[in-house]
Amino acid sequence: MRTMTTQATKGQLSASFRDPTGFLFSRDGVLYRQVNRKYEQEYTRLMQSGLYEKLTKVGLLIPHAEVDQPTIEFDLVPSRETVYKVIQPERVPFISYPYEWSFGQLKDAALATLSIQKRSLKLGMSLKDASAYNIQFVRGKATLIDTLSFETYNEGQPWVAYRQFCQHFLAPLALMALKDMRLNQLLRVYIDGVPLDLASKLLPWKTRFNFGLLTHIHLHASAQKKYAGEEVKSHRGSMSKQAMTGLIESLDSTIRKLDWKPGGTEWGNYYDITNYSDAAFEHKKQLVREWTNRIQPALVWDLGANTGVFSRVVSEAGPRVIAFDIDPAAVEQNYRQLKAEKNENLLPLLLDLTNPSPALGWANRERDSFSERGPVDLLLALAVIHHLAISNNVPLPQLADFFAETGKWLAIEFVPKSDSQVKKLLASREDIFPTYTREGFEAAFKNRFNIHEAVNVNESERVLYLMEHI
Amino acid sequence: MHFAPHLYLDPGSGSFLIQLLIAALLGAGIALRAYWGKIKELFGKKAKADEDHDDPSN
């Protein structure tokens, strides 16, 4: 499975080019990180100060092994002089991005970053960047995946990542909590975080009475405007360690106070308003469990997962499950629930299937699109087809193509027109879907899949299929 | 003084300056809190330990 875009010839990951202290590359499907000679001192300090051990023990930093692996050759740079070490970080099963996270996930990623910074300061180091893209959810926990993010802390020096932290974390969290949840999508437009002048304009006026937001966003934005392009050298200053601690604590408490209660959105209480009986629900669970055990997938994507009821049925059988849903409230509830149950196999993410995450960044190669992160072993598409075929007018053959390109196995539920949920979708519009029938569905999907099973769900008009991509 | 010479990100001039200002203020707050803790200790109350209470996601 291809997990990250690489440059075709050299194997260097195309998102890994900004930091001159090293980069990621992939060889024979294994991910390595080259540590440059330039970073030797900081790397040694990270490993010998006890910081690495402390952070990896609590799951705040991705563990790695030093390997005796030749690095990749470069045309311009003689690698022997440049390379200090090659390390092999633990592989993250699925890379997700901040615009796919719920409020709680972005908040935990922010608090993890600050926690790392606090622990680093105690051991004489500091984070030199605070990018949300450096955080991934590993075993359910927000984890820093960039081993080269640390630098030696010299007292007096301000936090170089302060601006980035405010843009990547504080501004979007404040906008989500205090203005509108959907503003998290600004992260999809602004790859280096929400510009602070924009956040300042969008936030309600009353946020000026919140000390943290007043200083870290509103005054910060004004200062950026006032001093734009001026050299820092001309305004010398020094920041004591106590001042640095004060800054980090202030960011921490400002973020902890931001909160959002899921609910009141489209699907938050979906399972209370479904039209099928307990027997139908149990039957679906039983089929999904049986099929997962039969196929033994390593990675499963549950499309339209809602709060993750079926994702959990699948994950109990062992595989890691990514539970995608369009509703921020459902994703948030799912995330809170998995934290409470300490579920390490589940990752809920926000996704609009009718407009999935695109490839973003420099040359469109820094952040992979949704489909570039597949194909996956097993796709779950339960109670979702009518939303794509009817609400979004996607013809059935195109749906079959999409699923075939996204997964090897497909467990999909067909919801017929006679179903009350579909009737609702058609209530206020013309029925322009003559082929949306069980026969039409099967004919379209047979072109791309072998249909292994077709089971009528008990006490319902729905049919559950297990198919294998041809 | 020189700020970290190997910056690969632009920290932004305004961001640097506002940070110095805010941090000075907050650092003073911490110092005050520390003194307050000592005063309380004088009257027999224990200052609370703040070691590693900061596990973020739990």
Q: What is the DSSP string of A369-423?
A: -TGGG--EEEEEE-S-HHIIIIIS---HHHHHHHHHHHEEEEEEEE--TTSHHHH
Domains of chain A by residue range: 42-61+94-260, 270-469
Taking contacts as CB-CB distances below 8 angstroms, the residues of chain B near A235 are: 13, 16-17
CA distance B45 to chain A (A): 24
B57–A239 C-beta distance less than 8 A: no
B1 in reach of chain A (CB within 8 A) = yes
Residue of B nearest to A224 (CA): B14
Whether this model's ipTM surpasses 0.90 comes out as: no
B29 vs A18, A239, A246: nearest CB: A246
Nearest one of A295, A327, A238, A302 to A453, comparing CA atoms = A295
pLDDT number for residue A265: 53
pLDDT (tens, 9 = 90+) of chain B, 58 residues, equals 444 445 677 778 888 889 999 988 988 888 888 888 888 888 876 655 444 444 444 4
Backbone phi, psi, residue A180, to 5°: -160, 130
B56 in reach of chain A (CB within 8 A) = yes
Q: Is A462 left (phi over 0), alpha (psi -120 to 50) or beta?
A: beta
pLDDT number for residue A55: 98
CA distance B1 to chain A (A): 6
pLDDT number for residue A229: 77
Residue of A nearest to B34 (CA): A242
CA–CA separation, A35 and B9 (whole Å): 18
CA–CA separation, B1 and A447 (whole Å): 69
Amino acid at A42: E
CB-based contacts of A446, cutoff 8 Å, min separation 6: none
CA–CA separation, A327 and A323 (whole Å): 12
pLDDT number for residue A75: 44
A108 vs B12, B54, B57: nearest CB: B57
pLDDT (tens, 9 = 90+) of chain A, 470 residues, equals 344 555 444 678 877 778 888 888 888 788 889 898 889 999 999 999 999 999 999 999 999 999 886 666 554 455 566 888 899 999 998 999 999 999 999 999 999 999 999 999 999 999 999 999 999 999 999 999 999 999 999 999 999 999 999 999 999 999 999 999 999 999 999 999 999 999 999 999 999 999 999 999 999 999 999 988 777 664 456 889 999 999 999 999 999 999 998 765 554 555 555 666 788 899 999 999 999 999 999 999 999 999 999 999 999 999 999 999 999 999 999 999 999 999 999 999 999 999 999 999 989 989 999 999 999 999 999 999 999 999 999 999 999 999 999 999 999 999 999 998 899 989 888 888 889 999 999 999 999 999 999 999 998 899 999 999 99
CA–CA separation, A359 and A374 (whole Å): 13
Amino acid at A362: W
DSSP A264: S
Burial of A385 (0-12, 13-18, 19+ CB in 10 A): buried
B13 in reach of chain A (CB within 8 A) = yes
A118–B54 C-beta distance less than 8 A: yes
Helix-then-strand count for chain B, H and E = 1, 0
Residue of A nearest to B2 (CA): A233
pLDDT number for residue B54: 46
CA–CA separation, A469 and A406 (whole Å): 10
Best B2, B10, B16 residue to mutate vs chain A (most A CBs within 10 Å): B16
DSSP B25: H
B18–A228 C-beta distance less than 8 A: no
CA–CA separation, A140 and A176 (whole Å): 22
CATH architecture of the domain formed by A270-469: 3-Layer(aba) Sandwich (3.40)
Q: Got the DSSP string for A132-188?
A: GGGEEEETTEEEE--TT-EEE--TB---TTHHHHIIIIIHHHHHHHHT-GGGGGHHH
CA distance B35 to chain A (A): 13
A246 vs B4, B30, B52: nearest CB: B30
Best B22, B32, B35, B58 residue to mutate vs chain A (most A CBs within 10 Å): B22
H or E, element range at A429: none
pLDDT number for residue B39: 85
pLDDT number for residue B48: 54
